[in-house]
Each structure stands twice: as structure tokens, then as C-alpha cells.
Homo-oligomer: A and B are copies of this chain.
């Protein structure tokens, strides 16, 4: 094998494997992840997969870490450019739900989150994403309240925690194709909760008009 690649190439190869493993997880689930599927998906030999990841568990952790970061930073970016608190809340709500039942990033995250019930490392990653999302919401809520734009019906941290919990729960129904809770209904229920908790009408325009797709555009 033409191994001993330079560090930069090694990092690039690991990234390819993380992306390939993510796709395999969407198809086969966390427990169905096998070296040969990752190899096939990445178009390299099983031996090379095992060279970069002698332990498949480490690959799983890297996939989870990568998915968590990608999801979080895309939400962060959606909020950054928006000047007013209601607009920031709308942007947050748009980025917190799957775009539809085939949203691969969300599917991967749900698979890995459930794995958290059985594994401490994955539990820590799930918690870290939850905490960061809650903080993001709490920050937007506190700033909005301080500026007099929002009137909170409960402590910002409670509203923020409930908002992220609603996203997680509805997201699961969206990817499970529950006909009663599709992406549109999930969005409208989340916005209705946020409106109720902030005293501000957050509207309910077509989710496709808001930058959910921005998440898919970046790697």
C-alpha cells in the first residue's frame, strides 16, 4: 500500500472517510456500519479504511463530531447577518428542522444521538450540540428582550431549551415521514411556540424561502 501519506493528505483522506461513513449510516444505521461499506462508498480498499481508522468506533465519533459542528455552525451563520430579534428567531427555527425526510445531515445526527443512550462519548457529543443550540437561542432571546423587541413569558433559558427540544422531536417525525407532522407543520408548531413565548408574531412563510438550503450547500 502506498501509505505514509503526508499529514495534510492524511487529514483530507480522513475527511473523505467521515463523509463516506455518514452516507453509509444514513443507509444502514450506526449498527450496520461496516468497514467494507465505508470502503465501497469512498471508493478505496477496506485495508486503507482500516489504516486510517483501525477502530471503527473512532470513525463513528469523528462522524458525530463533524455532523454536530456542521449543523451548529450553519445555524450560527444563518443568524449572524440578521439585524432584528424576530428575524433571528425565524432564521434559527428554519435551520433547526430537517428540510424534509431525506435531510441526510439530520438523519445522521438522529442515528448518532440515539447511539448516545448506550455510549458516553456519543452522549457527550449530543449534549454539547444541545447546549450550544440552547445557548444560541438564549442569546438571541436575551438580546431581543434587552432591546425591548421580545417579551418573554418564561426565563430565556427555559424558552431556549423548549425550542431546541421541539426541533429535535419534530425533526424525528419529519425524517420518519409522519404524515401529520411534515416539515411545514413542524415549522409552524415551532414558530407558534416561539411566538407564544416571546409575545411576537413570527409569521409562517414558506420554509423554502428561508435559508434552510444554505446548510446543504456547504460541506
Q: Which residues of A contact B (CB under 8 A)?
A: 29-32, 101, 107, 110-111, 113-114, 116-118, 123, 126-127, 130-131, 153-154, 158, 161-162, 164-170, 172-173, 175-181, 189, 192-193, 196-197
Contacts and interface: CB of A to CB of B under 8 A. Distances in A.
Contacts of A113: 172, 176
Given A123-B177, A168-B172, A192 B130 contact: no
Nearest to A114: B114
Contact of A173 (B130, B158, B162, B178): B130
Nearest to A190: B162
A177 B120 CA distance: 9
Contacts of A193: 162, 193
Contact of A127 (B110, B127, B164, B180): B180
A154 B166 CA distance: 16
A30 B28 CA distance: 12
Nearest to A158: B192
A11 to B, nearest CB: 30
A38 to B, nearest CB: 16
B29 A180 contact: no
A161 B176 contact: no
A176 B31 contact: no
A178 B114 contact: no
Given A165-B165, A193-B193, 20 more contacts: A29-B31, A29-B118, A113-B172, A113-B176, A127-B178, A127-B179, A130-B180, A130-B181, A154-B192, A154-B196, A158-B192, A162-B189, A162-B192, A165-B166, A165-B170, A165-B173, A165-B189, A166-B169, A169-B169, A196-B196
Contacts of A31: 29-32
A162 B32 CA distance: 32
Contacts of A131: 180
A161 B180 CA distance: 10
Contacts of A179: 127
Contacts of A126: 173, 176, 178
